Structure 1
Amino acid sequence: MSQNNLFGIACKTCRRRGRKCDRSLPKCNNCSLRGTECEGYALRWVDAAPSKGKSSKEHTDTKSRAIIRQQKLSILMNLGTTSDDLGGFVNYYAREISEAFYLGHGPVETPYTRHVLPMIRSVPSVRCAVAATAACHIANRLEDDQMKRQSLHLRLKATELLREELKGYPEGPDLTCLVCMLLLAQLDVCSGDCVEFETHLKAASTFIKQRGSDGTERGFIEQRIAWLDVMGATTSSRMPHWSPEDLAATLNKFWTPSGKREWGFDVFYCPIDLFEYIADITVLYKLEPDAIQKAILLGNAIKRWVCICDSDPRRHMVEVWRLGTLLYLIRLFRLPSGIFNTANTTTCIFHHARAIPSKTSWSYSISWPLFQAGLLLSPENSQIKAWLRNELYKNFCALGCFHQKLAIEALEQTWRSGKDRQYDLSSVDFPQRKLIL
């Protein structure tokens, strides 16, 4: 077999099972011979080690170009495999995107697998939204302008189809429409332009609050929309659409047998309690920016809060979020460094972050708290800045989510200005872009 028809590394299935892979494209033949479904190849950037006879930079550039060629070849050979030319995008979404942030236990059974993928064949708007999302991720990762245009075309098509479907539901959207709204809102975040992010978010939020539930298992869409609403408000000037009472009602629906609220690993990147603290801080700052004593009370509660975790990655990730939430509070209310020992808190957050393996679901899920810590870094923290910049860029290359790149640009602007603690995200200079982590 020609080397041009081989991928650079073993497929996911063979690597996970420790078996020999023939690396053929578009799928591994050894998996077929064993009667096993091939999960495809990990289309991720890999680190390049220098070889003798070439400088490190030359070798890295050569290796990177080779990786890009392999990625493009593998992707293009998997696209356009069905009559509507969207099958390849759908497969890419299922393989590369639907599991990217999954933090649950056991087999990968994400809410996207349970609720979104079954709709792809029967709901045109959802199919186009999924394809647009896949095209956007690919375009960002490979810096492919043609793929960007295709993603935009598919997004517009999904929006048109959604509008047509809404006309058929005079009493409001059904579950399929809500799924499409969620996908389009998340696509706006991935692309970075957020053209209709607020429109989709507000429409879905209003419908869910009127109906009382979205009808999915554990209210996946309801929880996810609430998450996007609150986190979007942390990096913009707007007030969350969900009031503290709405949010509490949503989060209080899910309890464990032991009587504790259930953390939706597949929806939230942090425990429910910390998510509520983030919402409380955001609302308090927007209503009472000078409420220092109330802010300190919230900070003390966050400082005392403890979560018992069953694994090292989760334990480190939870601490990153706890410390990042505290730093978010410190930055917004410009609290004196001595109140919560800002320098030590910043040191601790990066200690826990570095203990999390790079390019994993755990590391992809901590961009927001690391960004909050990055905004408070002083000029002498050059090594930590370099590590953070590199970590966010690796996430961008692996995931294709443009907000990771925007976060780097925002941090660079802040570090150049030297006014970290007075940084106002609502005034950041990103023409036609909006940062939502």
Structure 2
Amino acid sequence: MSMNGAAVDCADVPCWTCRRQRLKCDRALPHCGKCTSSQRPCLGYSKDKPLRWTDSVASRGKLTGKKLPRREQHLSLSRVLNDPGLQDLSPSMRDYIAYFEQQCCQEWVLYDFEGANLFKESIRFIPSCPALCHAVVSVAALHLTLRIASAQCNEGTMAYKPNQHEAQVSQSVDQVRQTYQIPAYHDALYHKQRTLRFLRSEAYAGESCNPDGVVASVIMSIWFELMDSGRDTWRYHLRGLREVMPKRTLSLAPSREGAPAADLPQMAESFDTSYAVLEIIGSTFVKTKQPWQPLFSRSPNFDILKRCESQTWTGCPSPLLYVISLANAAASGSHEAPPDLFAHIFSHLHNFSPMHWAVADAETHHMKPRYQLACVWHAAVEMYALQVLPVPFESDVFKSAGRANNSLDSALHHLKSVDPADVHLKGLLWPSFVIGAEAQTMSQRAVITDVLEILWTLWRCHNVTNALKVLEKIWARRATEGSSGRWIKYVYEWGEDWMFI
């Protein structure tokens, strides 16, 4: 009788996890005892061999250990969804993961090259990281929600508003109302809460079984907050990365079960690339600024900033991103600034050539938009540095930095010149906001409004509409108090931590 009971409670074959590690499996159902006691994901007892994420061409024969070029290592999404670890997902979750891969991933990078997209790379961790699975679904559901709401607003407003400009301005308000009625929005909120629950348990736990998946989940949660508003809540996730994750064993470890060692440093570098942009740009409109240092890799700082040019969506030239980090560090008050720091910062600005940057390592059809992008960022970074650094208005540094109206008009000209269909447009939200805060005349402000409306049409994110709302508050304040003061102080006074990227 006991033998019959054992036969009922045991699988016919060992689990795939024990087979891979050549361990004796107790074949317990639904998960073997060895996996349960060691807190490892059990790959189950299915007849089909589960996927093993490796960059080798074959596991046996003459091609054993041979590797394909990096661009060929991507696995199609259908293979990800066929992983045994995802078989219990609902059809809607699987649909959202497919939507994420097909519609969302390319928005994270300026140029969607194979092997240079953190979120496409992170999909491989979904089967072993519940937090990442829910984070992916929440981002995809919110992304889909905003586009459904946008389409509904387009149908409603265009029917009765002959003025295209008036219709565009009104759509953002209508979209907010539509959002709450869309089922995908409720899915987004539900899976956001599930993500936070898993991340909270990770924060209190010891060593994580999948730290790469956890970091990707946090970065993806920041993406969710940027789409949703760009206000305040993203800071909690960023602080979690700073305080919790450096204490864990991340991808700096030489090897880990189920992941080839050669792949791990690249993930750490990708995490630091995304973190650099989020930390540096995230500190710009926050009164308490955080000096930036890499968290996950040992790469030189400037190498990380260089990767930010192509592996994130901002496209900010690395010398200018470096200047922003220097200005943030100087304004943070965390350490006494060297006496020549201001001159050092502005010498970097003076020595930066948008044309040289645009033609370096660029395809021919990208040279003109890259030049326009570089000119816009160059002007905006200079304006920002003059706002946050304690440089007197009458100082030589301030006067030599180019505060004349023609500098502002030049930046606006380049903003207007960017083709709305060009991929580089996605990197212009932050510089558009900074240049917009400096705008004095109605015509100058109209240019900024037009650019933000194009960006909103491209993304349909509340982050963009909030940028325009804050600019309108700045313009109203400067109309009553004059333009001689620093607009950055208004942003600090209002007490909301915005990240406009």
Report the TM-score, using the length of structure 1 for normalisation. Answer: 0.69
* Contact 2:230-2:500 within 8 A present in 1 as well: no
1:146 aligned to 2:208?
no
Residue equivalent to 2:103: 96
Q: 2:330 and 2:302 mapped to 1: Cα distance?
A: 24
Task: Answer yes or no: is the 8 Å Cα contact 2:380–2:434 preserved in 1.
Answer: yes
How far apart in 2 are the matches of 1:187 and 1:94? 15
Q: What is the deviation of 1:279? A: 0.8
Q: SS of the residue aligned with 2:400?
A: coil
Counterpart of 2:15 in structure 1 is: none
Q: Partner of 2:423 in structure 1? A: 361
SS of the equivalent of 2:181 reads: helix
Which residue of structure 1 lines up, in the alignment, with residue 327 of structure 2? 281
- The aligned runs of 1:67-78 (5 Å cut-off) are none
Is the contact made by 1:172 and 1:207 (CA closer than 8 Å) also made in structure 2?
no
Pick closer, same or farther for the CA change 1:286–1:109 going to 2, 3 Å: same
Q: Distance in 1 between matches of 2:401 and 2:328?
A: 19
Offset of residue 212 of structure 1:
7.8
Question: Where does residue 232 of structure 1 map in the other structure?
Answer: 282
Q: Give the distance between the partners of 1:248 and 1:295, measured in 2 at CA.
A: 29
Residue 60 of structure 1 corresponds to which residue in structure 2?
none
Q: Is the 8 A contact 1:139 1:145 kept in 2?
A: no
Aligned to 2:444: 384
Q: How far is the alpha carbon of 1:165 from its aligned partner?
A: 4.8
Matched, 1:413 2:476: no
Give the one of 136, 151, 159 matched to 2:196. Answer: 159
Partner amino acid, structure 2, of 1:145: Y
State the 1:122 CA deviation: 4.2
Moved more, 328-337 or 296-305: 328-337
Q: d(CA) in 1 for partners of 2:244 and 2:209?
A: 7
Q: Unmatched 5+ residue regions in structure 1?
A: 1-36, 38-81
- Tell me which of 195, 217, 224 is aligned to 1:180: 217
Measured against aligned partners, the alpha-carbon deviations of 1:207-251 in whole angstroms (never above 9, x if no partner) come to: 5545686645261112211221121110111221535x8799654
Percent of aligned positions that are identical = 14
Cα 1:199–1:332 shift into 2, 3 Å: closer
* 1:426 lines up with 2:463 in the alignment: no
Displacement of 1:405 in angstroms is 1.0
Task: Tell me which structure has the larger Cα radius of gyration.
Answer: 2
Does residue 272 of structure 1 match 2:300? no
Kept after mapping to 1: 8 A contact 2:226/2:463: yes
Distance change in 2, residues 1:400/1:294 (3 Å): same
Distance 1:412 1:422 in 2: 15
Q: CA deviation at 1:197?
A: 2.3
2:402 is equivalent to residue 341 of structure 1: yes
SS of residue in 1 equivalent to 2:385:
helix
Letter in 2 for 1:275: L
Of 79, 83, 91, the residue aligned with 2:90 is 83
Which residue number in structure 2 is paired with residue 319 of structure 1?
A: 375
TM-score of the two chains, using structure 2 as the length reference: 0.61
Q: Distance in 2 between matches of 1:248 and 1:327?
A: 31
What displacement does 1:253 show?
7.4
Tell me, yes or no, if the aligned pair for 2:203 and 2:244 is still in contact at 8 Å: no
Alignment of 1:172-251 (within 5 A): 174-192=211-229, 194=231, 196-207=233-244, 209-210=246-247, 215-217=264-266, 219-240=269-290, 242-243=292-293, 250-251=299-300
Contact 1:111 1:266 in 2 (8 A): yes
| Alignment-mate amino acid for residue 117 of structure 1 | I
Alpha carbons of 1:301 and 1:208: their partners in 2 closer, same or farther (altered >3 Å)?
same
Task: Tell me the distance in 1 between the aligned counterparts of 2:232 and 2:386.
Answer: 31
- Distance (whole Å) between structure 2 residues aligned to residue 295 and residue 325 of structure 1: 14
Q: 1:101 to 1:113 in 2, by over 3 A?
A: closer
Matches of 1:193 and 1:162 in 2, distance apart? 20
Residues 89, 135 of structure 1: 8 Å contact kept: yes
Pairwise CA RMSD: 3.5
- The residue aligned with 1:22 is none
Distance, in Å, in 2 between the alignment partners of 1:191 and 1:158 is 16
Rate the CA distance shift 1:167–1:295 in 2: closer, same or farther, 3 A.
closer
Q: Which amino acid aligns with 1:372?
A: V
C-alpha distance in 1 between matches for 2:116 and 2:410: 31
CA contact (8 A) 1:139 1:400 kept: no
Aligned to 2:350: 303
Q: Any idea what the Cα deviations from partners look like across 1:82-123, whole Å, max 9, x if unmatched?
A: 725223322332222211242237x55542354222233443
Cα distance, 1:272 vs structure 2: 2.1
The question of whether the paired residues in 2 share the 8 Å contact of 1:303 and 1:326 is answered with no
Matched AA of 1:124: P
Q: Distance between the aligned counterparts of 1:207 and 1:368, measured in 2?
A: 28
The CA deviation at 1:298 is 1.6
Q: Deviation string for 1:273-315 (max 9, x for gaps)?
A: 2111101112212329999974354223202212432322222
Q: Distance in 2 between matches of 1:408 and 1:246?
A: 33
How far off is 1:179 after superposition?
0.8
In 2: Cα distance, 1:254 partner to 1:158 partner? 31
